[in-house]
Amino acid sequence: MPLVKRRAMLAAAPFAPVLVASCVRTREPSTVEVAKRYVAAWNARDAEQAPRFLADDVYYLDVTVGEPQHGRDGTRENVIRLFMTAAPDLKWQMNGEPIVSDGGTAFEWTFSGTNTGPWGPHTPATNRPFRFDGVTFLRVKDDKITYQGDYYDGYAFHKQLGWIE
């Protein structure tokens, strides 16, 4: 019997409020909802809010860097805050609907902004705009991202910034 019909039948019973309350479960956000909220926190340029979607022991891999980050704090400082400082006008746009499987979620994206801040102590701002496409793979457990892998054309990104010819 459909849930809506069961609720209607139960509502007519004198004990309905107790029984209906015990049958209604709080729905946890899906992996796609977590991904969309995470991207929205990046777009709000909030270096404290975005990491709240990450598990304490998140494993983050930016394939163009090669060296993974382990843990929320390292990812916040060495990825999220770094990008938000280097490109304060950043925009991370999901393209199309994510692909979901038992193992996780993947989505295509476009990342853009203007490099007006330093990427680090030895990499000053270029004041150049950039735009590149990529794919992110996420694994989520208990509404927290446990794995993030970002794959994109680092060559095109570096060329737009003028770091390579």
Residue 165's pLDDT band, with cuts at 50, 70 and 90, is confident
Measured CA distances, 19 to 15, 24, 51, 73 (Å): 6, 9, 38, 44
* Beta strands, E only, the chain: 54-62, 69-70, 91-101, 104-114, 129-141, 144-152
Tens digits of residue pLDDT in 118-143: 988 888 999 999 999 999 999 999 99
Cα–Cα distance between 112 and 132 in angstroms, integer? 7
- Among candidate residues 60, 85, 50, 45, the one with its CA nearest the CA of residue 136: 60
Domain boundaries, the chain: 29-161
Higher pLDDT, 54 or 3: 54
Q: Which CATH class is domain 29-161?
A: alpha beta
- Among candidate residues 72, 76, 92, 71, the one with its CA nearest the CA of residue 135: 92
The model's pTM: 0.80
